[in-house]
Structure formats: C-alpha cells, structure tokens
Amino acid sequence: MLARHAFAYLLSHGIPALVGFAAIAVYTRLLTEVEYGRYALVFAIAAMINAIVFEWLKVSLLRYYPMYQGERPFFDTVKLCFLALVGVSAIAGLPLYFFIDGLGWVHVLLALILSWCQSWYQMNLNVIRSEFNPKLYGYLSFLRSVLALAFGVVLILAGFEELGLLWGLVLAFVVTLAWPTVKKWGGAIRLKTFDAEIVKGFAWIWSTACINPFAWCSDS
C-alpha cells in the first residue's frame, strides 16, 4: 500500500507540474514581458502572504487532523481561524498598493484573493492526504492545473492581459474547491463549536516554528 500511495502522489505532483511547465510556455507567448512581469510579481506576493500568514495553520491542520479524525468542532475551529487570518491579511496587505510601483489596486486585491485560494487549496489537500486518498488528491491537483491553463488562456485572448491570467487562476481554485469545501467544511459558520483548546495546540506549533522553523519537521 505504501508503494502504491507513493507512486500515486508522485503522479499527483508530476502531471500537474508538467501542465504548469507547458502553461509557462503558453503564457509567455500570449503576454508581453511587462504583463508577464506584473503577473509574476502578483503571484510572488500571494505566495509570500501564503507562507507568512497561513503556513502555520496548514501545518497545524496536518499535524492534528489524525487526532481529531475530522470531528465537526475541529473543522469549524480551523475554518474560523482561516477566516480570521483572511481578515488580518486583508488589513495588512492592502497598504501594499502604496509601496509597490507598477501595480494597481486590482493587482493587490488579486494577490490577496490568490493567497487565500492557495492556502485553502493546500489545506484541503492536507485533509485529503491525512485521509489516505491519493486518487482524490491527484484528481483535484490535475483539475486545478488544467482549469487554470484553460481559464487563463481564454481570458488573456479576451483581452484582459495579466489580469485575465490571475482571474483564471482564481476561478480554477474556486471550481476545484467547491465540492471539497461543501463536503468537508460546510457552508455555515458555527461559533458554538469553536474549541479554544485546539487553537492552543495550533499556537504551540506557531510559537515553535517561530523559534525553530525546522523543529516541527523532526516531530512529524
């Protein structure tokens, strides 16, 4: 079983990576150097926000999910933490508009939205991986990469330039995550099931990561 899962996850990462490599060749032909540069800058900002603001929550989810086995209070607590981080990142990220030349407010907004989508996507993949479901993991990874390429190309050809590519990425995440979000997390926000003890565990991981970023790796 271990060998089968390892091979399945290898395909789940390898095939989307090949699609992504092909997508770069397509995007660089459809966009000018300036347009692709703006896209790359927005994507880099989104990745930075994702790593700084949301990474500890993703690690906490992966670490504690087997303990709680997907109980509703656990899902609701993680979801509320994620929404709180969305609000914090929005307040902290919007001023980037005044400090980065060449980007409009739409670019900054898309950087924030893209960082939220990336984080939510990776959190869902962590849940699927914890449930030992490599087929669904691969399906979502492949679907996201193909939809991103398709939506991005269509919107670029429609005349939206790098904004079309960025919106295409966002749309790909939204379509890909619609089913797992409803299935696993539900649409309601339940404050009554919020568990502060779970958050304390998350905070321990966060504080450990701040002191030694590699400490949690040795324990996992």
**What's the full length of the chain, in residues?**
220
Q: Which of 137, 186, 171, 172 is nearest to 13 (CA)?
A: 137
Mean pLDDT over residues 4-27, rounded? 73
Mean of all residue pLDDT scores within the chain:
84
Question: How many domains are contained in the chain?
Answer: 1
Q: Give the percent of the chain with pLDDT over 90.
A: 45
What are the two backbone dihedrals, phi and then psi, of residue 31, each rounded to the nearest 5 degrees? -110, 150
Range among 35-39, 97-101, 184-188 with highest mean pLDDT value: 35-39
Higher pLDDT, 184 or 119: 119
Task: Check whether 119 has a pLDDT greater than 90.
Answer: yes
Domain that holds residue 23: 2-219
DSSP single-letter state for residue 31: S
| 213 Cβ neighbours under 8 A, 6+ residues apart | none
